[in-house]
Chain A
Amino acid sequence: MLKKRILMLLGLFILVGTLTACQSGSNNGRSITAVGSSALQPLVEAVGENYTSAHSGNFINVQGGGTGTGLSQIQEGAVDIGNSDLYAEQKKGINAKKLVDHKVAVVGITPVINKQLAIKNLTKKQLIGIFTGDITNWQQVGGPDRTIVVINRAQGSGTRSTFERWALNGQSSLQAQEQDSTGMVRQIVSSTPGAISYMAFAYVDKTIKTVSVDNIQPTNKNVETNRWPIWSYEHMYTRGQPKGLTKDFIDYMMSDSVQEKVVGKLGYIPMSQMKTTRTLNDELHITK
C-alpha cells in the first residue's frame, strides 16, 4: 500500500518534471511576448507566425488585453513589446520617456450602421450630434423614423479615443451601451435595428454598412492622403531600444515584404503608403 503511494508520488514528480522540462526546452530557442491592443493583435499574430516558420527556434507570443494592458505591462518591463493604438503620452499613468515607439501600421476607423438603414452619408455635424445625444432619431438626418442606438467601445479603448478625437472633434461620446471588443460591436450593430457604432476598416464585413462623412468615403486611399482623418497609428512600444529577438522581430515587421504583403492583406495600411504623417500634437505633414 505504502509502496504504491510512493510510486504514485514519484510518478507525479516525474510528470511535473517532464512538463516543466518541455517549457524550459523551448527556451533553448528565443522567445518574446507582445501584449496589448486588440486592434493590432491580428497583425502581430500573423507576422509572428510567419517569423516563427521562417526562423525556427524563435517564438513570438502574442496576447491581447487592450491598449492599457499593453502600455502598463511594457512600462513595468513584464513583456518585451507593448502594443498600443495610442501614443504612450496620451495614456494617463504612463511615463512615455522610458518607452521607444515603433509605428508599424496605420488603421482607419469608420462609423458603421445597421444594414437596414438607408443612409449613405452623414455630415460631421450630424455625426457629432448623434454621438453626443443631440440627435436621437434617424428621421433627423434623413433616415426612417427609428430611434438611434449608439454602441460605444469601452472607456479607454484606443478605437474609441481615436474616433472621439478625429470624428467628434475631441468631444466625448454620450453614456451608452459599451462593448469591449470589435467583434461584439459588429454582431450587435448587425442585429439591432437603428444601431450605429465605429470600428477599424479591417473588421468591416457584409453584415454591416459603412457611411461616408461629409461625402468622403472611408477607404485606404483617403486615409493615405488624410482626406479621411479618422485614423491612428498602431504602435509597438519597447522599453529602451530593442535588443535581440525583439529588435529582429520589429525589423522584420517593418521590412518591405511584410509591410507590402501582410499588412495590406489584413486591412491595415502600410507605413510606406502614407502620404502624410501626424505628430503626437496632431500636426500634419505631407511627405509625398
Chain B
Amino acid sequence: MHDDIKDSLLKKSRATRSEQRGRIISLTCTAIIVLIVVSIFYFVASKGLATFFSNKVNVWDFLSKSIWNPGSTDSHGSPQAGALPMIIGSFGVTLLSAIIATPFAIATAIFMTEISPNKGYKILQPVTELLVGIPSVVYGFIGLSVVVPFVRHTFGGTGFGILAGTFVLFVMILPTVTSMSVDALRAVPRYYREASLALGATRWQTIYKVVLRSATPGLATAVIFGMSRAFGEALAVQMVIGNAVLLPHNLISPASTLTSVLTMGMGNTVMGSAANNALWSLALLLLLMSLVFNLLINKIAKRGRI
C-alpha cells in the first residue's frame, strides 16, 4: 500500500540531500587542501633532508658553518654547505625591520582608532591598503634606485646590505602590522575606555594604561605576522641586500638571506645534485621557520583569550 506520509518521513528530504551534497563538497575541498599542504611538506622535506642523508652534510655544520659552496666538497668529502651567513642575514633583516616598523605601526593604529577615528581612518585606511597592494618587485626597484644610493651616501660602503634590506622591508611590512594593530585596538571593549575616563584618567593615560595593555596579545600577533612576511620576502630583499654569502661585518656590508640565495641558485643547479639539495635544505628551513611563526601566533592568541 502506498503511504505518502510514511514515505516523506522515511526518505531523505530535499533539504537533507542538499545539505549532504554541501557537506561532501566542502569535505572534498578541505581534503584536497590538506593533501596539497602535506605533499608540499613531504616534497620539501624529502629534498631538503637529502643533503644530510645522501650528501652526508652534518646538520650542525649546516647551521653553524659559514662557507657556502655546495657545488664543491671539503676535505672530508662532504659538500661545503654552511648556511650561517644566510640565517644571520634573514634574522637580521626580519628583526630590525620589525623593530623599526612596530612603533610606526602602533602609533598609526592609535591615531586611527583612538585619536582621530573619523578623519584619520578615512585617509590612512586607503593608504595602508594601497601599500599592501604594491608588488614586491616595485619595492625592490625603488630600493635599488633610491634606498641603496641613500645608504651609500649617508653611511658609506656600497649601499647594499642589511640596512638597505631593513629599510625596504620596513615599508613592506608596515601596512600589514598597522592594519592588524588597528583590528587589535578596535577589539578592546568600549566600556574599558569609558571606565578609565570615568575614573579621571586622561586620554593618554587611557590609551597607554588601558587600551594598549589589553590589546597587547593582538599587537604581538600583528608584529609576528609582519615578521613572518619579512622572513619570507625574496625578491625585494634580493635586489638590495647584495647577495654575498658572507658573515655580515656590519649593517652596510653585503649580506644574503635564505630566500635570496634560494632564488638566485635554483636556475643554476641541476635537480638531484648536492648543490640543488642544499638549496632545498634552505627551503626546508624557511618552511620550518614559518611554522614556528604560526605556532607563536597561535600561542599568543590563546593566552590573550584567557
Interface residues of A (CB under 8 A from B): 38, 64-69, 71-72, 75-76, 91-94, 149, 154-157, 175-180, 184, 187-188, 191-192, 195
Query: Given known contacts A69-B267, A156-B71, is B244 in contact with A178 (CB within 8 Å)?
Result: yes
**Bound-complex Cα distance A157 to B243 (A):** 14
Q: Tell yes or no: B268 within 8 A of A by CB.
A: yes
Closest CB of chain A to B77's CB: distance in Å? 14
Residues of A within 8 A of B246 (CB): 175-176
What are 27 A-B interface contacts by the 8 Å CB criterion? Answer: A66-B266, A66-B268, A68-B268, A72-B270, A72-B271, A76-B271, A91-B270, A92-B270, A92-B273, A92-B274, A92-B275, A93-B270, A155-B71, A155-B265, A155-B275, A156-B71, A156-B265, A156-B275, A176-B246, A177-B158, A178-B243, A178-B264, A180-B264, A180-B268, A187-B144, A192-B152, A195-B158
Query: Please, which residue of chain A has its CB at the minimum distance from the CB of B72?
Result: A172
**Bound-complex Cα distance A154 to B243 (A):** 9
Query: Do A154 and B264 touch (CB < 8 A)?
Result: yes
B residues 238-258 touching A (CB-CB < 8 Å): 238-239, 242-246, 254, 256
Q: Tell yes or no: B69 within 8 A of A by CB.
A: yes
Query: Given known contacts A177-B244, A178-B243, is B158 in contact with A156 (CB within 8 Å)?
Result: no
Query: Given known contacts A155-B71, A156-B275, A191-B149, is B243 in contact with A67 (CB within 8 Å)?
Result: no
Residues of A within 8 A of B148 (CB): 191
Residues of A within 8 A of B160 (CB): 177, 188, 192
Query: Do A192 and B269 touch (CB < 8 A)?
Result: no
Q: Tell yes or no: B263 within 8 A of A by CB.
A: yes
**Bound-complex Cα distance A38 to B264 (A):** 13
Query: Do B158 and A192 touch (CB < 8 A)?
Result: yes
Please pick, from B149, B242, B268, the residue contacting A157 in the complex, using a CB distance under 8 A.
B268
Interface centre among B246, B264, B272 (most CB of A within 10 A): B264
Interface centre among A64, A177, A195 (most CB of B within 10 A): A177
Residues of B within 8 A of A76 (CB): 271
Query: Do A68 and B269 touch (CB < 8 A)?
Result: yes
**Bound-complex Cα distance A154 to B71 (A):** 12
Query: Do B265 and A192 touch (CB < 8 A)?
Result: no
Query: Do A92 and B268 touch (CB < 8 A)?
Result: no
Residues of A within 8 A of B269 (CB): 68, 156
Interface string of B150-174 (1 = CB under 8 A from A): 0010000011100000000000000
**Bound-complex Cα distance A192 to B157 (A):** 10
**Bound-complex Cα distance A177 to B159 (A):** 12
Query: Please, which residue of chain B has its CB at the minimum distance from the CB of A194?
Result: B158
Closest CB of chain A to B47's CB: distance in Å? 14
Residues of A within 8 A of B238 (CB): 180
Closest CB of chain B to A3's CB: distance in Å? 14
Closest CB of chain A to B258's CB: distance in Å? 14
Residues of A within 8 A of B272 (CB): 72, 93
Please pick, from A66, A94, A156, A175, the residue contacting B244 in the complex, using a CB distance under 8 A.
A175
Query: Do A177 and B242 touch (CB < 8 A)?
Result: yes
Interface centre among B246, B263, B269, B274 (most CB of A within 10 A): B269
Please pick, from A92, A149, A177, A180, the residue contacting B267 in the complex, using a CB distance under 8 A.
A180
Query: Please, which residue of chain B has its CB at the minimum distance from the CB of A92?
Result: B273
Please pick, from B243, B263, B276, the residue contacting A177 in the complex, using a CB distance under 8 A.
B243
Closest CB of chain A to B254's CB: distance in Å? 5
Query: Please, which residue of chain B has its CB at the minimum distance from the CB of A64?
Result: B267
Closest CB of chain A to B200's CB: distance in Å? 58
Query: Please, which residue of chain A has its CB at the minimum distance from the CB of B269?
Result: A68
Query: Given known contacts A177-B158, A178-B244, is B270 in contact with A71 (CB within 8 Å)?
Result: yes
Closest CB of chain A to B15's CB: distance in Å? 12
Please pick, from B68, B69, B158, B239, the residue contacting A149 in the complex, using a CB distance under 8 A.
B158
Interface string of B62-75 (1 = CB under 8 A from A): 00000011010000
Residues of B within 8 A of A67 (CB): 267-268
Closest CB of chain A to B149's CB: distance in Å? 7
**Bound-complex Cα distance A156 to B279 (A):** 13
**Bound-complex Cα distance A96 to B110 (A):** 64
**Bound-complex Cα distance A176 to B161 (A):** 12
Query: Do B244 and A180 touch (CB < 8 A)?
Result: no
**Bound-complex Cα distance A187 to B152 (A):** 15
Residues of A within 8 A of B267 (CB): 38, 64-69, 154, 180
Residues of B within 8 A of A188 (CB): 144, 160
**Bound-complex Cα distance A38 to B268 (A):** 10
Closest CB of chain A to B51's CB: distance in Å? 14
